[in-house]
Amino acid sequence: MIYRWISILFVASLALTAQAQTQEAPDVLVKRVAEDVLQTIRSDKDLQAGNQAKVKQLIESKLAPHFDFSRMTALAMGRNWRSATPEQQKALTDEFRTLLVRTYSGALSNYRDNTMDYAALRTNPGDTEVTVRTSVRRPGQAPVPIDYSMAKTPDGWKAYDVIVAGVSLVTNYRDEFNDAVKSSGVDGLIKMLVDKNKGPTPK
């Protein structure tokens, strides 16, 4: 019986090793997802017209799976994250995720005429965190650098921050979150996010 269990564990370890070896490189992942999203927008008139239901579906199916929303929320909270209970942390993550998806939804349909450039990724063997550098080219405007901070997880590479023209998407919320916690505690911040998510979709 013990040899049977050893065999099962050995096969499982081989499967996990194979999975790790076949994970997409972070720069390959970013390029594939970005080009897929852009192509989908260019070929769908409802997306171009800003149909929010379809835009949200696009984000949930093609973008959201590649983000680590828990880590993003923790970074936005800063040291206040440690003072939140596990239940509060889950509520914060859920509401911040909703806010980010809604924010992307308000802007994504305007991306149909954009093109992306991708810088060569420089990494060392064994790196578990990298920055994938890209830039967005818009007709008649200067390119906008967009960098993705990414970490290797058991489920593949996940983005935990997006830096647009030098400004961190995640830490850009930190002062607002700190002020909310100072004035009304973690529950007050959760309520603020709930109220934001009930309002109009950000443009």
pLDDT in tens, 135-184: 999 888 899 999 999 999 999 999 999 999 999 999 999 999 999 999 99
Query: What's the pTM?
Result: 0.83
Q: What is the DSSP letter of 151?
A: E
Q: Are the C-beta atoms of residues 186 and 177 closer than 8 Å to each other?
A: no
pLDDT tens digit sequence for 173-203: 999 999 999 999 999 999 999 999 998 776 6
Confidence of residue 49 (pLDDT cuts 50, 70, 90): confident
Find where tokens 């003072």 sit: 83
Measured CA to CA in angstroms, residue 136 lies from 41, 185, 194 at distances of: 15, 38, 32
Domain ranges of the chain: 25-198
pLDDT tens digit sequence for 11-25: 333 233 333 345 799
Residues paired with 146 in a beta bridge = 134, 164
Q: What is the CA radius of gyration of the chain?
A: 20
CATH of range 25-198; options 1.10.1370.30, 3.10.450.710, 1.10.10.10, 1.10.1070.20: 3.10.450.710
Tokens of 169: 């998407």
**Mean pLDDT value across residues 19-35:** 82
